[in-house]
Amino acid sequence: MPHVPTIAALATAHGNGGIGIIRLSGPDSWAIAEQLTAGQPALVDHMANLRRICHPATGEALDQGIVLPMRGPRSYTGEDTVELQLHGSPLLLDSVLGVCLELGAQSARPGEFTFRALLAGKLSLLQAEAVRDLVNAGSDEELSLARKSLFTDTSQPFREVLSLITKSLASVEGPVDFPDQFTEEDEASALHGATSLAVEARAEIQKLLADAQATARLQHGVTVVIAGAPNVGKSSLMNALLKYPRVIVSDIPGTTRDSVSEDILLGRHRVTLVDTAGIGTAPADLLDGLAGERARQSLECADVVLVVLDAETGLQPHERDLLDHARRQPHLVAVNKIDAGPVPRGLEVEVGEQVLGISATEGIELDALTDRLTKLVETVAETVAAKQMVTHRQAAELMTSDRALVDFMNSAGAAPADVLAYYLGEAREAMQRLLGEHIAPDEILATVFNTFCIGK
């Protein structure tokens, strides 16, 4: 039996708090806890044991807290584990963790506790990914989808695809494995059946890829790009929406150069708000040109455009292109600086749609703007609501499978049966990897657990 090291890590977030938890897992975890509580009553399995934590060499009391020992397999990882619930001081926790390492534990790698749970069969690969997404959820919707993946079996749609591909492969392999039992007519009919199954599998894959797209939008948020001509008050509006002075504001046109992104929560949705350089006017120099280019790139990636005009100048000819661009997608038009003067008469007619007069610096009508923006973001997010969470890794495997199915369909009737079987085999393997079957632990570590936090 290979020696399994005992791992230790802080399981709670860094920083000061009421309590902080150090987690140990592996064959020596109990022995380490016993050394930390030497001279006190023996630890009782699956019970909260109030103990003083002392340095075993010097006897110095490091803290007092709850020691929660759990004999495997009745533990998260399936191994012997111990949780030390101590006072939430980063210095104190670091010192106790340091002693655990002195006593033979190794620092856990990101996600290593969950990885061990996976190896022990406590969790499926999809559930392990759900644990990560639950911890990282930034909105109610992400949270409820992550909960669904963790507490219910969301592998069914993937298994359905796998089953269709497997049936398709069986139809193609029959004539290869038992050539004398198949007439030419049988072979043609088997190939026809295999192709129909592949078409069905592809349709299911497309639905799951739509869920993957919706998941990505949920996790990275709807992108709202603030765009407009120089000096109209885009950065002032960004700061007002963020409620702190994140970006530089000045009366010099061309203050903002690079696009600056920040996350905010609008209603139930995580939103990436992007401030951009002014566009529309002819660039004054090379840097100005580059800044405009950046702003246009940001616009290309926008889910929603918030066009800002200036009440003092009214609609300028160079703002028309931007308005035309914005009209192609969900957008709002805000007319800023109404504290200095009203929205010019006839502006709405010139713009061709409803506009909202605001003042970024004086806070006028910003609540109304936020409400409208929230509704727009909700509409955008909900047009592609995910039925279930499909992670980036799962989407990559779905695409690999889909490509192999396309290769199969393009070759059906032209290539020999063993080549067709090879393509379907590739499609099947990708689905198996997605489900965590036939995938080496090293590959799982590299592709899934490197995105976990330490201590989980």
User: Which positions lie near ligand GTP, rule CB under 6 A?
Assistant: 228, 230-236, 249-251, 253-256, 277-278, 336-337, 339-340, 359-362
Q: Which does 391 bind (CB under 5 to 8 A by kind): ligand GTP, Mg ion, none?
A: none
Half-sphere exposure (Cβ direction) of 140: Cα atoms closer than 13 Å: 6
Report the distance separating Cα 131 and Cα 147, nearest Å. Answer: 8
Shortest Å, Cβ 357 to ligand GTP: 10
Partner from Mg ion, ligand GTP, none contacting 230, C-beta within 5 to 8 A by type: ligand GTP
Q: Which long-range contacts (CB under 8 A, 24 or more apart) does 450-453 make?
A: 450/110, 450/111, 451/110, 451/111, 451/132, 452/110, 452/111, 452/114, 452/132, 452/135, 453/110, 453/111, 453/135
Using CA atoms, how far apart are residues 172 and 76, in angstroms rounded to an integer?
43
We find the least distance from the C-beta atom of residue 390 to Mg ion, in angstroms, to be 37
Q: Residue 84 touches which of Mg ion, ligand GTP, none (CB < 5 to 8 A by kind)?
A: none
Q: Does 223 bind Mg ion (CB under 5 A)?
A: no
Q: Smallest gap, in angstroms, from Cβ of residue 355 to ligand GTP?
A: 15
Residue 339's binding partner among ligand GTP, Mg ion, none (Cβ under 5 to 8 angstroms by kind) is: ligand GTP
Q: Which of 419-427's residues contact partners 24+ apart within 8 Å by CB, and which partners?
A: 420/172, 420/191, 420/194, 421/169, 421/172, 421/173, 421/176, 424/165, 424/168, 424/169, 424/172, 424/194, 424/198, 425/169, 426/400, 426/401, 427/165, 427/198, 427/201, 427/400, 427/401, 427/402
The residue (of 70 and 306) whose beta carbon lies closer to ligand GTP is: 306
Given Mg ion, ligand GTP, none, residue 118, with its beta carbon under 5 to 8 Å by kind, binds: none
If the CB atoms of residues 116 and 337 are measured against ligand GTP, the closer one turns out to be: 337
Residue 428 binding: pick among Mg ion, ligand GTP, none (C-beta 5-8 Å cut-off by kind)? none
* CA 444 – CA 450 distance, rounded (Å): 9
Judged by beta carbon distances under 5 to 8 A according to partner kind, the member of Mg ion, ligand GTP, none in contact with residue 340 is ligand GTP
**Nearer residue to ligand GTP within complex by CB, 112 or 365:** 365
Amino acid at 104: G
**Token reading at 262:** 């920040």
Cβ proximity to ligand GTP, 304 vs 395, nearer residue: 304
- DSSP SS3 for 19: strand
- Contact segment (CB under 5 A) with Mg ion among 13-21, 128-136, 218-226, 256-264 equals 256-264
For residue 45, give Cα distances in angstroms to 30, 256, 429: 10, 60, 42
Give the burial string for 439-452 (b: 16+ CB within 10 Å, else e): beeeebbebbbeeb
User: Would the CA dihedral through 240, 242, 248, 252 be positive or negative?
Assistant: negative
3-state secondary structure of 151: helix
Nearer to Mg ion, 6 or 336 (CB): 336
Q: How far is the CB of 238 from Mg ion (least distance, A)?
A: 8
- Give the SS3 label for residue 235: helix
Report the nearest approach of Mg ion to the CB of residue 264 (Å): 17
Q: Which is nearer to Mg ion, 11 or 308 (CB)?
A: 308
**Cβ proximity to Mg ion, 24 vs 291, nearer residue:** 291
Residues with Cβ within 8 Å of residue 456, at least 6 apart in sequence: 11, 110, 111, 113, 114, 131, 132, 135
Which of 139, 239, 256, 336 lies at the binding interface for Mg ion (CB under 5 A)? 256
Task: Give least dist CB 319 to ligand GTP, A.
Answer: 12
Segments of 89-237 assigned E as strands: 106-107, 222-228
Q: How far is the CB of 306 from ligand GTP (least distance, A)?
A: 12
List the beta bridge partners of residue 61.
54
Q: Is 298 in the site for Mg ion (CB under 5 A)?
A: no
Q: How far is the C-alpha of 127 from the C-alpha of 419, rounded, in Å?
A: 35
Closest by Cα among 305, 277, 301 to 290: 277
Site string for Mg ion, 75-94 (x = CB under 5 A): --------------------
Smallest distance from Mg ion to CB 260, Å: 9
**194, amino acid identity:** A
Choice between 56 and 253, CB closer to ligand GTP: 253
Residue whose CB is less far from Mg ion, 277 or 386? 277
Residue among 203 and 248 whose Cβ is closer to ligand GTP: 248
Residue 25 or 336: the one with the smaller Cβ distance to ligand GTP is 336
**Can you tell me which of 235, 259, 336, 388 binds Mg ion, judged by CB under 5 A?**
235
Closest CA to 299 of 270, 262, 327: 327
Q: What is the total count of residues that contact Mg ion (CB under 5 A)? A: 4
- Distance from C-alpha of 274 to C-alpha of 29, rounded to nearest angstrom: 48
Name the minimum Å distance from CB 240 to ligand GTP: 8
Span from 12-20, 32-40, 231-239, 440-448 in contact with Mg ion (CB under 5 A): 231-239
| Minimum gap (Å) between residue 114 Cβ and ligand GTP | 44
Nearest approach in angstroms of CB 324 to ligand GTP is 20
Report the interface residues with Mg ion, using CB under 5 A: 234-235, 255-256
